[in-house]
Amino acid sequence: MGKYIILRKQKLSFLLDKQALRVITVLFVVLVLAALVSTGMGQMAIHPLNVLKALFGYGSEMEQLVVTSFRLPRIVLAILAGAALAVSGAILQGIIRNPLASPDIIGIAGGASVAVVTFFALFSDRSNSLTVSIHWLPLAAFIGAFFIGFLVYVLAWKEGVSPLRLVLIGIGLAAAMKALTTLMMILGPIYRATEANIWIIGSVHAANWREVLTLLPWVLVMGMIALFRTRHLNVQELGDEVGRGLGSAIQKERLILLILSTSLAGGAVAFAGGIGFVGLMAPHMARRLVGSAYGVLIPASALIGALIVLLADLAARTLFAPLEVPAGVFTAAIGAPYFIYLLFRQRHR
């Protein structure tokens, strides 16, 4: 047992792989350093040491303004959204036992996008102001995401979930969600059309601290619940018959995990849009680094997903400056070929 750390506390116990724990620590350090460097990059370059000074209230007033008011909110939002999408994808791949499952590919992110655009269309007045609190936005996104996630799962079920059937139904529903999103953009206020279009592609441009503080508790709570249910995720991957033999309430746990997955995806889409392929790529990368046990796969996926969206946003605001390209363009440029590769590999299994 020299490879593992055993933690016991009454009803809870954890078995941690030391190597996986080292990988997670390295990923965390890389994410912090990437966030620090990213905060200093832009039209106004700021040295990482000056970024640290600005974070602690030192340095020039201009540097403090740029760091704390303009760049840091979008960086934190990118990290939260990437982590949420990655964990959502990891959970989906576990409960459906399909490596091609992710929130955007099977339409869950699309359902959240429809709900978000509908929210803005219904609750905006003529002065461009919302008539309800922005804090209801994650709930609206969750409802849209959960409805589509449940629909995909039900339609794909036929004595089990076929990977090909799941992908085909998911792609079809994702296309339908794009059509509905476009319809709501047309029916809604014209001044919301451009803003709504950002959610379709995915971007953290113009992020603010109010959005960060709304999303932060949502992601932390759902992420912690997901961590404490990793044992049930491991059982789900063994199949229904084996799971029932181990005494697990398979259908009940599957519903709880589906709610967790759609909650995370809905919250991310509410504020960062449908950033594509993060929920597909991050869990696969994490499995190669830490293995398939969900106790370490969930945090590793979260860190990798956060890093992917952070770097995509950095590229979005620096490569074509002064123009900004949505971060979703860069994740799609990497994720689409990766998805094709996974499809090709699945065909030979």
- Quickly tell me which residue has 């102001």 as its tokens: 129
Q: How far is CA 252 from the centre of its chain?
A: 24
The CA distance from 99 to 267, in Å, is 23
Q: Say if residues 113 and 200 touch (Cβ distance below 8 Å).
A: yes
| Angle in degrees, CA 155, 156, 161, rounded to 5 | 150
Nearest to 84 by CA among 71, 101, 98, 103: 103
Q: What is the DSSP letter of 130?
A: B
The set of residues, in sequence order, having a beta carbon less than 8 Å from that of 128 and lying 6+ positions away, is 189, 191
Q: What is the largest CA-CA distance in the chain?
A: 65
Q: Which residues of 206-222 are buried (b: 16+ CB within 10 A; e: fewer)?
A: ebeeebbebbeebbeeb
The CA distance from 47 to 286, in Å, is 31
The set of residues, in sequence order, having a beta carbon less than 8 Å from that of 90 and lying 6+ positions away, is 279, 282, 283, 286, 294, 297, 298, 301
pTM: 0.86
Classify residue 127 as exposed, middle or buried by CB count within 10 Å of its CB (0-12, 13-18, 19+).
exposed
Domains, the chain: 16-348 (1.10.3470.10)
Which two three-digit tokens encode residue 124?
């905006």
Which two three-digit tokens encode residue 73?
């909110």
pLDDT by 10s per residue, the chain, length 349: 445 555 555 555 555 677 888 999 999 999 999 999 999 988 888 888 888 888 888 878 888 888 888 889 999 999 999 999 999 999 988 887 777 778 887 888 888 888 888 887 788 777 667 778 777 877 788 888 888 888 887 887 776 656 667 778 888 898 898 888 888 777 766 556 666 666 667 778 778 898 899 899 999 999 999 988 887 777 767 666 665 666 566 777 777 888 888 889 888 888 887 788 899 999 999 998 998 888 899 999 999 999 999 999 999 888 887 777 888 888 888 887 887 777 777 665 5
